[in-house]
Amino acid sequence: VTSRVGTVDGADLEGYWKAVAAGDDVTASAVAQGALERGASVETVLRDLVAATQSRVGSLWAENSLTVSHEHAATAVSETVVHRIAAGLPEPTGGPLLLVACVEREWHSLPALVVTHTLRSWGLRADYLGASSSRDQLVSRILDTGPRAVLLSASLASSLPRVRRQVEAIRGTGTPVVVGGSAFDPAGRRAQALGATAYAATPAAAVGLLGTLPQHVTPAPALRGPGAVEARSVHTSAESIVRDVLLASDAGLGTTESMRITAPYDWRVVLTTFVPHVVDCLVGALLTADPLIVEDARGWLVDVVARRGGDPAAVDVLWGHLAERLREFPEATALLLRH
């Protein structure tokens, strides 16, 4: 069928989805292979089949139509598919080395894996460090291999404070750092605020930027402004803030420590599980002066609670406890009470 040449179509997507949902990596790989054999590029298959299906997995989890273990199983299938596609790629021959890494405590490794193999499919040399790289790991790899640039991936807005730490470490070695992933806004404002050399939405955009990157970058200047000052204090006491907000929320919602083990899918438990994520999103919003981060996190939580049959007003209660705990911080309070 000529219309299927070079592309991923609806039949591929359905076949791939069924295989992923069934945890069947053999069939999922066969669907991907079929598209490649019809002339679709590795970039197209990874983006339009693998990444597109992962978005569907995420939406279904949010809707409560898919459990966390299904989400993990689906991701494992996609990871296997990417590795199989990668095994068929020729060895890159030369050119600049790119180092692809995930921010510390970022377990969304598939986006970075997809970026790595898309680059390799174009004959570029790309090293992949896997999920959650510490600053020390990252710096010692940079010193060992001297990459032309680091491509740093972050999916969670709550990773933005750790993006800043990694950017500082990478720039400390003089190496340019290009950031990407769903933690960032498409205009690249968060990336710029955090001191990244550049932002790229796709592997192709990152490659397009390579020629414009400086050979050597200076250390990241300290972040100034009232938000950055508050961000430091909130970040330093994040654990105690989370503990206090959890205690207050547990009292209001009737959740207990043992419920987190016996009823992990109860909407109240799901809601309170996200308190650390919310606090880190707030720090990210303070660092980047981007109120959308807090708004998005709140909107997502309202959705998650509503889809699980809970009362969305519970999110207001949680927000109230957080605002109360942070009342000495005017910038943080303003971000929380903005909506």
Binding residues for ligand B12 (CB under 6 A)? 47, 51, 54-55, 57-58, 62, 71-72, 75, 105-112, 114-115, 151-153, 155-158, 178-183, 200, 202-203, 206, 277, 300
123 secondary structure, DSSP code = T
In the complex with ligand B12, the residue whose CB is nearer, 58 or 229, is: 58
* Distance in Å, CB of 158 to ligand B12, minimum: 6
CA–CA separation, 332 and 326 (whole Å) = 7
Whether the Cβ atoms of residue 101 and residue 133 lie closer than 8 Å to each other? yes
Beta partners for residue 150, in sequence order: 99, 177
In the complex with ligand B12, the residue whose CB is nearer, 271 or 326, is: 271
* Distance in Å, CB of 155 to ligand B12, minimum: 4
Whether the Cβ atoms of residue 145 and residue 118 lie closer than 8 Å to each other? no
CA–CA separation, 83 and 55 (whole Å) = 19
CA–CA separation, 134 and 150 (whole Å) = 14
In the complex with ligand B12, the residue whose CB is nearer, 47 or 135, is: 47
* 198-199 and 177-180 beta bridge pairing: parallel
CA–CA separation, 145 and 162 (whole Å) = 23
In the complex with ligand B12, the residue whose CB is nearer, 158 or 255, is: 158
In the complex with ligand B12, the residue whose CB is nearer, 122 or 300, is: 300
* Distance in Å, CB of 187 to ligand B12, minimum: 15
* Distance in Å, CB of 326 to ligand B12, minimum: 20
Give the long-range contacts of residues 213-216, CB within 8 A, separation 24 or more.
Answer: 213/148, 213/149, 213/176, 213/178, 214/176, 216/174
Residues in contact with 200: Cβ distance below 8 Å, sequence separation at least 6, in sequence order: 151, 178, 179, 180, 206, 208, 209
* Distance in Å, CB of 327 to ligand B12, minimum: 25
* Distance in Å, CB of 207 to ligand B12, minimum: 9
* Distance in Å, CB of 152 to ligand B12, minimum: 6
In the complex with ligand B12, the residue whose CB is nearer, 52 or 229, is: 52
Task: Return the SS3 of 102.
Answer: strand
In the complex with ligand B12, the residue whose CB is nearer, 77 or 157, is: 157
Task: Report which residue's Cβ sits closest to ligand B12.
Answer: 180
Cα angle, residue 138 at apex, residues 120 and 129 outer, rounded to 5°: 35
